Amino acid sequence: MTDAGYAYFSISDLAPSIESGEISPVALVQTTLDRIAAHNDTLCAYITVMTESALDEAHQAERQIAGGNYLGPLHGVPLAAKDLFATAGVRTTFGSPLYADWVPDHDAAAVERLRAAGAVIVGKTNLHELAYGGTSGNPHFGAVRNAFDPACHPGGSSGGSATAVAGGLAFGALGSDTGASIRQPAACCGIVGLKPTFGLVSKFGALPLCWTMDHVGPMTRTVADAAAMLQVLAGYDERDETSAERPVPDYGDGVNRGAGGVRIALVREFFFADCDAEISAAVEAAGAVFEGLGARVEEATIPDVEVSYAAGTIIMGSEGAAMHGADLRQRPELFSDEVRGLLTIGGLYPAADYVQAQRFRKTFAAAVEELFTHCDALIMPTSPVPATPIDDSPPEHGPLRYRNTVPFDVSGHPAISLPCGFTAKGLPIGLQIVGRAFGEAELLAIAAAYEGATDWHERHPKF
């Protein structure tokens, strides 16, 4: 992109200049809106652009900061929200005609918290229909395109958020992740995506695909920015039945700690099967980077990891069918063939298998946590396959796009994807790092150490 200006600055780089008054939130928001106006027709990243309210919020932020009431690193920063987070007075479509006219009277908890921290929400990002799919090829609101190659998909389901952040149309965004939907699009778009521990971030006001596996998290261009967003998003919310009541640590505390002495487990079994050769090589190279940083890298296996893929698929399908079953019966024409097929399959899983899949989760989560008595983090490819052309996406990629990520939606462990290379065709590759339950501070520190030793995150789309 040639009109980038501040567009690719990190939140952490911008914040001191916003606090000092050197950078105006109004100018920053206007620049972001200008970039959206210039590039959204190509990228299809946003469903709704909130021009008027964004400028109002920017003026308010500018007044507060000038008056000495600086709220922190998100104050005055233009962010985006996936269009399944309720926004008061602004339609929230879920990427589906079913919700095309739904205008909530409240903000989702995640939006509420970002606004309370002074962030400016510039728009609602496009997504895979009903957040159920990995390409964001939305037939109702347009196929989202990858900022690194607009002929290719950006991953999904939070594809609009990933493209907006990668393309400099927002400085960070909210995503949701049930099987892959924060991490896989982050990998496809060369950005950072963090799926926090289940229960750490409130899901209140986020339209559900799967009540027991949905997670809310940040999508940013750097690990430090993910830490800054998580700092605001994390914490107990009594409106979310699954919310965890526990103290929130300082997530930015360890981002300069390094990785010396850290024990990394490279998990080849299952996660490297059917993996694109360039992706395997990039993740193996990431292991070598950690060794160069003084970490100890060993191989590990995860017991019953293939069953976790099955359990996740059954739970997602069954709960998706429960969530949308009535509409599927009464208004089937409002679903795409693809999502109608997925939900129909979901309705075929026997109840007994759904119950067994939920029972499996308890033992699997314990087995994953047990691994952390021997190591501090697990690493593997985020996705075994890269983004592919929208018009020529291999059908066999469907089950692979969420294969490496869904185990940690099943177990609930925190997992982050960050850029670790590019294919020969110039498409990003993602490294997934998994940490202890509620161990986001340590996970972010390990991810930041890798990021600090590489320059993948400094490569931005050019068009």
Active-site entry in 24, 82, 96, 195:
82
Q: Helices 51-66 and 25-43 meet at what angle, rounded to 10?
A: 160
Q: Based on the shown chain and the rule CB under 8 A, indicate whether residue 353 belongs to the binding site for other proteins.
A: yes
Sign of CA dihedral 154, 389, 45, 107: negative
Helix (H, G, I), strand (E, B) or coil at 273: coil
CB of 221 to other proteins, least distance (A): 34
Q: What character string, x for contact with other proteins (CB under 8 A) and - otherwise, covers 169-188? A: --------------------
Q: Is 157 noted as a catalytic residue in this protein?
A: yes
Q: Based on the shown chain and the rule CB under 8 A, indicate whether residue 284 belongs to the binding site for other proteins.
A: no
CA distance 100 to 162: 22
Q: Based on the shown chain and the rule CB under 8 A, indicate whether residue 361 belongs to the binding site for other proteins.
A: yes
Q: Is 362 noted as a catalytic residue in this protein?
A: no
Amino acid at 3: D
Please give the backbone phi and psi of residue 254, each rounded to the nearest 5 degrees, phi first.
-105, 10
Residue from the set 99, 141, 251, 360 that interacts with other proteins by CB under 8 A: 360
Q: Based on the shown chain and the rule CB under 8 A, indicate whether residue 355 belongs to the binding site for other proteins.
A: yes
Q: Based on the shown chain and the rule CB under 8 A, indicate whether residue 356 belongs to the binding site for other proteins.
A: yes
CA distance 354 to 319: 9
The CA angle 280-338-359, to the nearest 5 degrees, is: 65
Bridge partner residues of 125 (DSSP): 46, 82
CA distance 301 to 269: 6
CB of 70 to other proteins, least distance (A): 36
Helix (H, G, I), strand (E, B) or coil at 432: strand
Helix (H, G, I), strand (E, B) or coil at 194: strand
CB of 403 to other proteins, least distance (A): 10
Q: What character string, x for contact with other proteins (CB under 8 A) and - otherwise, covers 416-445? A: ------------------------------
Residue from the set 188, 311, 371, 437 that interacts with other proteins by CB under 8 A: 311
CB of 360 to other proteins, least distance (A): 6
Residue for token digits 């160069």? 292
Q: What character string, x for contact with other proteins (CB under 8 A) and - otherwise, covers 290-309? A: --------------x-xx-x
Residue from the set 27, 310, 322, 367 that interacts with other proteins by CB under 8 A: 310
Looking at 111-155, which runs of residues are DSSP E strands?
120-125, 137-138, 142-143
Q: Based on the shown chain and the rule CB under 8 A, indicate whether residue 325 belongs to the binding site for other proteins.
A: no
- Nearer CB in complex with other proteins: 305/446: 305
Amino acid at 422: F
Residues 22-81 that bind other proteins (CB under 8 A): none
Active-site entry in 181, 202, 393, 417:
181
CB of 361 to other proteins, least distance (A): 7
Q: Is 24 noted as a catalytic residue in this protein?
A: no
DSSP conformation class of 309: H
CA distance 277 to 275: 6
Total chain residues near other proteins (CB under 8 A): 30
Q: Helices 337-346 and 305-330 meet at what angle, rounded to 10?
A: 110
- Nearer CB in complex with other proteins: 289/334: 334
Exposure string for 10-35, b = 16+ CB within 10 A, e = fewer: bbbebbeebbeeebbbbebbbbbbeb
CB of 342 to other proteins, least distance (A): 7
Q: Helices 223-233 and 440-452 meet at what angle, rounded to 10?
A: 160
Exposure string for 419-448, b = 16+ CB within 10 A, e = fewer: bbbbbeeebbbbbbbbbbbbbbbbbbbbbb
- Nearer CB in complex with other proteins: 57/237: 237
Q: Are 92 and 124 in contact (CB under 8 A)?
A: yes
Residues 374-413 that bind other proteins (CB under 8 A): 395, 398-399
Residue from the set 340, 422, 423, 452 that interacts with other proteins by CB under 8 A: 340
Q: Which stretch binds other proteins (CB under 8 A): 45-53, 294-302, 346-354, 382-390?
A: 346-354
Q: Are 184 and 161 in contact (CB under 8 A)?
A: no
- Nearer CB in complex with other proteins: 27/345: 345
Residue for token digits 């949701």? 176
Q: Which stretch binds other proteins (CB under 8 A): 167-175, 201-209, 355-363, 454-462?
A: 355-363
CB of 362 to other proteins, least distance (A): 5
Q: Which residues are catalytic?
A: 82, 157, 181
**Residues in contact with other proteins by the rule CB under 8 A:** 304, 306-307, 309-311, 313-314, 317, 340-342, 344-345, 348-350, 353, 355-363, 395, 398-399
